[in-house]
Amino acid sequence: DTAVSQTPKYLVTQMGNDKSIKCEQNLGHDTMYWYKQDSKKFLKIMFSYNNKELIINETVPNRFSPKSPDKAHLNLHINSLELGDSAVYFCASSQEGLAFYNEQFFGPGTRLTVL
């Protein structure tokens, strides 16, 4: 009955590799997000995506690309991994259309370590 799930929970890889993180939500929400939390615990939005629109945070390198096969899934693909990509990546979802209140539900996170 997990609301927002992510796989894998841990990901250790070498520089230069390409990897993907998967996210699924069973809440029926129509908006999903990817956040990056660095070693200092700063949680920063990377992307938000709903049926209508992908919002790209322009500070995110284009090596990062979100892919949404349907509204319950939002995967994150990362090309040419760099040391600075090491962080915890959180997926979240919310129900758009509730005006200014959109509680976001977070997945358990994926800890990415780039060696």
Partner 1 sequence: QKEVEQNSGPLSVPEGAIASLNCTYSDRGSQSFFWYRQYSGKSPELIMFIYSNGDKEDGRFTAQLNKASQYVSLLIRDSQPSDSATYLCAVNAPGAGSYQLTFGKGTKLSVIP
Would you tell me which residues interact with partner 1 (CB under 8 A)? 31, 33, 40-45, 48, 50, 52-53, 55, 90, 96, 99-109
Give me the least distance between CB of 76 and partner 1, in Å please. 16
Helix (H) or strand (E) holding 5: strand 4-7
Q: Rank residues 31 and 75 by Cβ distance to partner 1 and give the closer one.
A: 31
CB of 12 to partner 1, least distance (A): 17
Distance CA(46)–CA(94), nearest Å, equals 15
Per DSSP, the residues of 16-82 read T--EEEEEEE-S--SEEEEEEE-TT--EEEEEEEESS-EEEPTTS-TTEEEEEEETTEEEEEE-S--
Q: Closer to partner 1 by CB, 15 or 22: give it.
A: 22
CB of 71 to partner 1, least distance (A): 14
Residue closer to partner 1 by CB (options 34, 114) is: 34
